[in-house]
Amino acid sequence: MRWENLAEQPVRPGSDAALFGADAVVTRTVDTPGFRGITFHEIRARSIVNRVPGASRMPFTWTVNPYRGCSHACVYCFARKTHSYLDLDTGLGFDSQIVVKTNAPELLRRELGGPRWRGGHIAMGTNVDCYQRAEGRYRLMPGIIEALRDHANPFSILTKGTLILRDLDLLTEAAAVTDVGISVSVGFTDRELWRTVEPGTPAPERRLDVIRALAERGIDCGVLMAPVIPCLGDHPDQLRATVRAIAEAGATSVTPLVLHLRPGAREWYFQWLTEHHPHLVPHYERLYASGAYAPKSYQRRITGQVHELAREYGIGPARSGAARRIGPQPEAAAAEPEQLTLL
């Protein structure tokens, strides 16, 4: 790979060896018996708060990603392409070669305290899951949340991981001083589909348990119903079962997102589809003939169905332009923080 000889060496700006441009020092590579088949590449990053490109569809400006690559192994993950920038495979390599920014908490604390930072909303879990299995080993999120709490910096987390429950006390403390939004991703409740398309994630019912646990603590939690998978997870009965389960778990909102297939993910997904559902390949080729996104007419139909079901079960879509909150509103602050929804 481009950076295999960088151990303990700074990255030169503009060189082909750049892991994160000039923003990383690779320290060691680790194979751990407790994580069979997974290799961790530990680095010391030189920056951690990332600006989202202006052309992005994402409704937020800043992100923090303590990991790169994801053992959730979701076959559709749009972030797969990013592994190719490291000369790593976007298929199995993305699932098993995990880059860990071991200094993320201390680096974030430093950047939040810098003179140029203006306290913008920071989204996490929007590239790869910050509560994937690696977090059980490296425990980066407690330090990250503590830094955000201590600087009263608004943030949001999107996850499929149950490990977020470990940090409930910290999240509650942070919510006492700033806006905190939590969302769980549950695209479907079909266990057979889950086993093949999201093999490294907690089962959908375990994610619903996370929502229940948050609700019991008085913590609002929205659901990103993503992805809704054409022909495999979009039947009206499947949509109903999923929305009903989300509502019964105590979610405050549900926002559907139809499967999109960007380069890197597209090739891996079609390989999976050919193996598991070959009869659907021609249909998908037509559905995604124009690019990464399904036709708008199909997206509107799915969105309309989910929203109708959500109203029936007493929940609604996420309110545009506002971060979901944990607990009561804080006392008036010196300056109104930027409020952005994660979904």
CB count within 10 Å of CB 136 equals 13
Q: Which of 232, 223, 170 is nearest to 198 (CA)?
A: 232
Distance between CA atoms of 120 and 133, rounded to whole angstroms? 28
CB count within 10 Å of CB 193 equals 17
Going across the sheet that includes 62-64, the strands are 49-51, 62-64, 122-124, 155-159, 180-185, 222-228, 253-258
Report whether 181 contacts 153 (CB < 8 A).
Answer: no
| pTM, entire model | 0.85
* pLDDT tens-digit profile, the chain (343 residues): 444 433 333 333 333 233 444 456 667 887 776 788 899 999 999 999 999 877 666 677 899 999 999 999 999 999 999 998 888 889 999 999 999 999 999 999 999 999 999 999 999 999 999 999 999 999 999 999 999 999 999 999 999 999 999 999 999 999 999 999 999 999 999 999 999 999 999 999 999 999 999 999 888 999 999 999 999 999 999 999 999 999 999 999 999 999 999 999 999 999 999 999 999 999 999 999 999 999 999 999 999 999 999 999 999 665 543 444 444 433 333 333 332 333 3
Going across the sheet that includes 39-45, the strands are 24-31, 39-45, 97-101, 67-68
Q: What is the dihedral of CA 153, 158, 160, 161, to 10 degrees?
A: 0
Q: Show the tokens assigned to 93.
A: 């390599």
pLDDT tens-digit series, residues 56-85: 666 778 999 999 999 999 999 999 999 988
